[in-house]
Amino acid sequence: MSDNPPLLRPDLARALVPDTRRLRSDGTAQPTIGMVSLGCPKALVDSERILTRLRAEGYAISPDYKGADAVIVNTCGFLDSAKAESLEAIGEALQENGRVIVTGCLGAEPEYITGAHPKVLAVTGPHQYEAVLDAVHGAVPPSPDPFIDLLPATGVSLTPRHYSYLKISEGCNHHCKFCIIPDMRGRLVSRPAHAILREAEKLVEAGVRELLVISQDTSAYGVDRRHDLSPWKGGEVRAH
């Protein structure tokens, strides 16, 4: 593992969150959210999607605890050491900020989290984007700004500019005795082929030079969609 680039290492995957704070048109500060992203590249993609949605709703992103109105901690629960790191990160966010929303794989065990940290505002499971957004809305209500809202929503990237992760599916159909991924992430759900191609095209247009295709079970992509055909630029592409 030591040969991997730092941002590809699961044990060093605390994402570097960009600072997007600025004043609204009336001179007041935007509602601001901080993010701590732990675990694997799949979780990092989830964090990017959550932050992108929040940006589109007018929230600013803070790179530190004290500049945020609330903090989202995207956890990992795959190994005991990852669980311990997640609990430590939640505790640190509570100490430094006090308003913490927990999501990610460890969120599949809410009692485990609230037993250690009963003061968290909410706990949601992996890839539950709407539940995370609802929790943010409850903790820090959005404050629409007509000038900010006219700006197109730009995707938030937590990787260096030259590469990006491209998630093609979620979950796994295998129930290996040594792995808890199906319990945390559910059964295999493959994205439509045209949606993957469209995202890849947009990433390349944005300057990305390397796409890292990821999922829990990449080789099983499309099995759940069987011989599903997706329209793409006047033709069709097959998922499997």
CATH 3.30.750.210 fits 163-238, yes or no: yes
Q: Which residue has the tokens 């539950």?
A: 128
Inter-residue contact 61 to 18 (CB < 8 Å): yes
The pTM for the full model equals 0.76
Inter-residue contact 121 to 139 (CB < 8 Å): yes
Give pLDDT tens digits for 179-194.
888 888 889 999 999 9
Q: Pseudo-torsion of CA 59, 163, 198, 206, nearest 10°?
A: 70
Q: Which residues pair with 189 in a beta bridge?
A: 170
53-56 contacts, C-beta under 8 A, 24 or more apart: 53/129, 53/133, 54/133, 54/136, 55/20, 55/153, 55/154, 55/156, 56/153
Q: Cα separations (Å) of 96 from 57, 61, 89, 90, 91?
A: 25, 16, 10, 10, 9
Least confident of 10-14, 38-42, 175-179: 10-14
Mean pLDDT of 19-42: 75
In this predicted structure, what is the pLDDT of residue 122?
Answer: 97
User: CATH assignment of 6-149, given 3.30.365.10, 3.40.50.12160, 3.80.10.10, 3.40.640.10?
Assistant: 3.40.50.12160
196 pLDDT tier (thresholds 50, 70, 90): very high
* Domain definitions of the chain by residue range: 6-149, 163-238
pLDDT at position 6 over 80: no
Give pLDDT tens digits for 32-80.
999 999 989 999 999 999 999 898 888 988 888 888 999 999 999 988 9
